[in-house]
A and B are shown apart, each in its own frame.
Chain A
Amino acid sequence: MAECEKITVQERLKDAAKSLGIPRLIIFGFLALLFVAALFLKLDIASLFSNVLTRLGMNGILVLAMVPTMQVGMGPNFGLPLGITCGLVAATLAIELNLVGWTAFVFALGVAIPLGGLAGYAYGLLLNKLKGEEMTVGTYFGFSIVSLMSIFWAMAPYKSPEMIWPYGGSGLRVTISLAGRYDKILDKFMSFSIGGIVIPTGLLLFFALCCFLMWVFMRTRTGIAMTVVGNNARFAESIGLNVNKNRLLGSTISGALGAVGIIIYSQSYGFLQLYQAPLFMAFFAVGSILIGGASINHALIRHVVIGTFLFQALLVTSLPVANLLVSENLSEVIRIIISNGIILYALSRKEQGGEAK
């Protein structure tokens, strides 16, 4: 296993050095260092790997949601909490209707996709009036939605005893357990283990399916049109593409993916997190895709997979290593520094192509 890791690291080092260099190089180096430290500290490498794989599938779709908006030139979707809350509404509805297992999961997805899409569409309408300021407005729009939805969670007339506070009163709990509903339903689907490494087959297959669909979509006529709009809006307009329509499409898909993403995330995590939990999720997703090598207005599936893997691997390995070496839980801090550091780096790079408005 160690050898396999070495080869990928070497390949990636070359690749990273060639394409965008320093930040990914540093992160790979750091990851390799952590890995070596983990070996020396005799940590359970198998469980580390299982963790990384699970987290890859768990977070992957939220990161994938960044691709359509970045490709169409709207920048990373900092308004992701909008899609996330739609997904949470769908997930809580499934519990409220007392659905169990696959029915609940499929129902949640079935509600989440149109709901997230619709929200994304409305958000796109707003952003079409604010070209060039999508990131700033999106950040605060996302924050506002999270606080507005907090009021919703606190007042919504849900009845299911699994979700409301046990001592009565109105409103939903902060975290809702999915045990007995669809806890780890994808993770356990066709799951098996090799040498102690648990492979969450269903989860990874679902992530791969989403990536594949996105990959195919970006190669269709519509997908290429979106990329053209993202590369140079003026040029796109001159050849007869409707810039606003394409941007709306990007925002819609991103919203729907955000909604799906949180359902996948929560089934793997085992809990629905309401209220303030989605507040910073967008930043970690943006950080992930940028670590993968994307730039503000250019993102590929490859960037999603590499980025999510790197970011999660870093978190998973750094936690136990840091625990043993410095006896402090610095995982959250490292997460904040890395994701925001990489966003800053991406912001400070000169954008290529026309900044048409």
Chain B
Amino acid sequence: MSDMKETPTIKEDFDLQKQLKNNAVPIMFVIICSIGCYYARLPWPFLINEIITRMARNSFLVISLIIPIIAGMGLNFGIVLGAMAAQFALIAVVLFELQGVAALLVTIILMLPMAIFFGWMTGALFNMTRGKEMITGIILSFFANGVYQLICLWVLGAIIPIKNPAVMLPSGVGLRNTINLKPLHYVLDRMFELQYGMIRIPVVTFLVILLLCVGMHFLLKTKLGQDFRAVGQSQHIAGVSGINVDKTRIIAIVLSTILAAMGQVIFLQNLGILTTYGSHVQVGTFAVAAILVGGASVSKATIPQALLGTLLFHTLFIVSPLAGKNLLGSPQVGEFFRVFIAYGVIGVALALHAWKGRGK
């Protein structure tokens, strides 16, 4: 993956055709979204409010993908493990019966070591499967989901006794399908929010996202950030010039996993309900699809691309069931269409990447 960096264009003159070609994916999605918005016939304030909610909810997760891409490890499908770390922490916090900001802080404290550990394991595995990081990440996310289910269905209750009817199944073994996160609901979003009619803006959440963007921007300028880039360009050259390649790659994945865990906490505090066996499953796929829709590739990604992608992908999410219903008479078809888009966009992006990489 490392030697597949795109060469920077030498000619910097504004060239409309080239611009269109380079941004083909986002432009295509702007068009699809516009058609979707038109046919969905949703009232504008509702649509805008939904988009704002979803931007606040999902941006963090999408941004968590950037560092591994820069470090040349491709799209980190392993962020699902970060989401799991967050969910374990949230379950614990519900068990401790904590409230509000205290609950949020304890969640983060509990989540961090788990996320670091999972990230370190993932990174070590990626170092063993060099060049096949993405397929490893995909399979790892399925594998981890199996282990997660084993823990939640059986270990909790049968081996670790927990007696809390709000969390456990009536039989006393295994967690419920849905766990109410009421003590944490909107803890960030409603800390301070602006409201214009139907539109509510969760200021604190956006501040956290802004903080992340700024932090990421500066991180990439530090020595570590340069190391990520160097390793991403060529592992061999980076190694020769004295960078510990394996360690840098592990750090990239650990950071990505921590951010994903934080992202999942933001996601779930907004939803207010944890679907124990479902909330994390699609995290990787949807985040990856979003960043690709924004115009990122397997080897190149920026923060604006992540944000634009989140906007477009989730707009499509909001409008497609209704558009499908109005256009084709079946909301189910719209549902299938958006899943198809998510998978399809990843498939096409990966295919394009492999195609380009072959030219070298």
Q: Which residues of A contact B (CB under 8 A)?
A: 126, 129-133, 135-137, 139-141, 143-144, 146-148, 150-151, 154-155, 170-171, 280, 283, 326-328, 330, 333-334, 336-337, 340-341, 343-344, 347-348, 357
Contacts and interface: CB of A to CB of B under 8 A. Distances in A.
Return the 9 tightest CB-CB contacts between A and B, nearest first: A336-B146, A133-B354, A140-B347, A337-B146, A340-B143, A147-B340, A143-B343, A130-B354, A144-B343
B51 interface: no
Contacts, number: 129
B343 A341 contact: no
A348 B336 contact: no
Contact of B333 (A131, A136, A154): A154
A347 to B, nearest CB: 5
Contact of A132 (B142, B149, B158, B354): B354
Given A136-B350, A171-B330, A347-B132, A147 B138 contact: no
A150 B145 CA distance: 24
Contacts of B343: 140, 143-144, 146-147
A132 B347 CA distance: 15
Contacts of B153: 328, 330, 333
A148 B340 contact: yes
A337 B143 contact: yes
Contacts of B147: 337
Interface string B127-157: 0110010111011101101110110011000
Nearest to A135: B135
A131 B153 CA distance: 40
B125 interface: yes
Nearest to A75: B135
Interface of A is mostly: helix
A292 B346 CA distance: 31
B173 interface: yes
A179 B354 CA distance: 45
A146 B355 CA distance: 23
* Chain B interface extent, by class: 35 or more
Interface of B is mostly: helix
Q: Which of A283, A334, A340 has the most CB of B within 10 A?
A: A340
Contact of B139 (A140, A147, A340): A340
B354 A137 contact: yes
Nearest to B144: A340
Contacts of B337: 147, 151
A140 B346 contact: yes
Contact of A347 (B129, B336, B339): B129
A121 B252 CA distance: 39
Contact of B351 (A126, A132, A155): A126
Contact of A144 (B136, B140, B347): B347
A139 B153 CA distance: 28
Given A151-B340, A340-B139, 15 more contacts: A133-B357, A136-B135, A148-B340, A150-B340, A154-B332, A170-B330, A328-B153, A333-B149, A336-B142, A336-B149, A337-B150, A341-B143, A347-B139, A348-B128, A348-B129
Interface in B211-259: none
A272 B354 CA distance: 35
Contacts of B95: none
24 contacts: A129-B355, A130-B358, A131-B354, A137-B351, A140-B344, A140-B347, A140-B350, A141-B351, A143-B343, A144-B343, A147-B337, A147-B339, A148-B340, A154-B336, A155-B328, A155-B333, A326-B158, A328-B173, A330-B153, A337-B143, A340-B139, A340-B146, A341-B143, A348-B125
B26 interface: no
Given A326-B158, A344-B125, A333 B347 contact: no
Interface string B322-360: 000000111011001101100110110011011101100
Q: Which of A131, A151, A170, A171 has the most CB of B within 10 A?
A: A151
B174 interface: yes
B214 to A, nearest CB: 32
Nearest to B351: A137
Contacts of B354: 129-133, 136-137
A131 B358 CA distance: 8
B135 to A, nearest CB: 4
Contact of A330 (B143, B150, B353): B150
